[in-house]
């Protein structure tokens, strides 16, 4: 199980407990700082990081992943004592991946270059990593024991966006964090390699937390203090609504359960309820529910069934690609709904629907192809058409799931 101990555990991991065991390799820790035109504050961040390493006798280095700076940031970083790696592909995630890719340490601590994070707090993250955690997430919000200094975070970010998405991450993915957007965190290099990170933009940090939670890695949360942005002329790279939408989009795409499965099951439930009241023509609150209600109920059934299919497709693809872990529910599904069973089920539904349609056509023939009692015949035609549609979709989806599950060489 993913586990975390919040402020109480973090407080026990004090900087004074940080020592450098003699048996460890020469480079224990790499501090990675992404950079794009951060000349105003980059030098101060690197200086603090190097000071933390020196004062606590940590064998480490500072690596700057530069994403094409043109303001002298590279020269500043090299002069202060950091190692700079040039990252050509644009994006926050690309800059971090470039820095992590050349890191020599077995532990990584990342933090932004705007001087809002205090790199003197590095020993607290390292202490938690040394104690066995795979991912140590910083928390700036009071809900996780953190502190936001006046002017350090927008009101909407602090009280609306960040708490909302952090709560959503706990509900969707079981992420044991209170500040999903915090850019200061530590992790083992082996964890980074296991997670196989894909996002090249600002979703990189969110992807790390989500994957670590889903794959049940050991996660701790360390409260930190957020300082006001130290830049005076450089505009923040954050965009409230754009980044909020990108986060929500990423959450939904990473959760077939919430994006497809639950809405699909809800629509199927509504459709079945509609059939229960419309097939016998019940009157509910003075309204007679007839063929039109039946038609809408069939629409809900078909849409709901398609949503459930997409949930299975997306989950199968994500498991194959290593984006999501396999689970017992999917294994049971694969065991029960094999290709042949899916084909047989789809065939039976198609035939059953076809029989209902044929019966309705025969009623039309008996009426000499004249007018019919549509309230009666539609109770055959609508379920018949619905059954044929769902049956045909079942046949196609059975083949498609079989294709998705083919082992890759």
Q: pTM of this prediction?
A: 0.79
- Going edge to edge, which strands form the sheet with 107-110? 83-86, 60-66, 29-35, 107-110, 185-188, 135-139, 219-223
Q: What's the sign of the alpha-carbon dihedral 342, 348, 351, 356?
A: negative
pLDDT at 284: 86
pLDDT at 23: 38
- Average pLDDT over all residues of the chain: 89
- How sure is the predictor about 7, in pLDDT bands with cuts at 50, 70 and 90? very low
pLDDT tens-digit series, residues 169-218: 999 999 999 999 999 999 999 999 999 998 998 889 999 999 999 999 99
Give the residues across from 30 on adjacent strands.
Answer: 61, 108
Question: Which residue's entry shows tokens 């555990």?
Answer: 9
Query: Residues near 56 by Cβ (< 8 Å), separated by ≥ 6?
Result: 15, 18, 20, 122, 123, 126
pLDDT tens-digit series, residues 254-289: 899 999 999 999 999 999 999 999 998 888 888 888
pLDDT tens-digit series, residues 374-386: 888 999 999 999 9
- The DSSP 8-state label assigned to residue 23 in this structure reads T
């Amino acid at each position: 199980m993913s586990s975390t101990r919040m402020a109480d555990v973090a407080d026990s991991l004090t900087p004074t407990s940080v020592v450098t065991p003699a048996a460890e390799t020469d480079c224990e820790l790499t501090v990675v700082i992404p950079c794009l035109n951060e000349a105003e504050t980059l030098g101060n961040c690197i200086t603090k990081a190097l000071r933390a390493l020196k004062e606590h006798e940590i064998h480490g280095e500072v690596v700057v992943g530069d994403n094409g700076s043109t303001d002298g940031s590279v020269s500043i970083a090299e002069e202060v004592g950091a190692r700079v790696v040039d990252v050509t592909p644009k994006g926050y995630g690309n800059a971090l991946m470039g820095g992590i890719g050349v890191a020599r340490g077995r532990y990584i601590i990342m933090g932004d270059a705007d001087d809002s994070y205090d790199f003197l707090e590095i020993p607290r993250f390292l202490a938690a990593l040394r104690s066995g955690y795979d991912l140590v997430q910083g928390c700036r919000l009071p809900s996780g024991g953190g502190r936001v200094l006046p002017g350090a975070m927008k009101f909407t970010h602090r009280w609306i966006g960040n708490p909302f998405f952090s709560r959503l991450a706990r509900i969707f993915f079981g992420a044991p964090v209170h500040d999903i957007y915090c850019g200061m965190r530590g992790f083992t290099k082996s964890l980074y390699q296991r997670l196989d990170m894909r996002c090249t933009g600002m979703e990189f940090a969110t992807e790390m937390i989500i994957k670590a939670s889903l794959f049940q890695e050991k996660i701790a949360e360390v409260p930190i203090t957020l300082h006001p942005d130290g830049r005076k002329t450089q505009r923040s790279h954050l965009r409230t609504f754009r980044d909020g939408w990108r986060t929500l989009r990423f959450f939904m795409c990473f959760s077939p359960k919430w994006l497809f499965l639950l809405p699909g099951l809800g629509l199927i439930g509504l459709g079945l309820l509609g059939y229960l009241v419309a097939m016998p023509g019940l009157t509910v609150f003075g309204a007679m529910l007839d063929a039109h209600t039946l038609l809408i109920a069939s629409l809900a059934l078909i849409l709901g069934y398609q949503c459930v299919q997409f949930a299975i497709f997306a989950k199968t693809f994500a498991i194959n690609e290593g984006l999501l872990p396999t689970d017992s529910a999917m294994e049971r599904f694969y065991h029960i709904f094999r290709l042949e069973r899916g084909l047989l089920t789809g065939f039976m539904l198609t035939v059953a629907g076809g029989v209902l349609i044929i019966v309705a056509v025969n009623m039309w023939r008996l009426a000499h192809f004249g007018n019919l009692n549509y309230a009666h015949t539609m109770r055959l035609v609508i379920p018949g058409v619905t059954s044929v549609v769902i049956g045909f979709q079942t046949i196609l989806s059975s083949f498609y799931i079989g294709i998705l599950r083919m082992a890759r060489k």
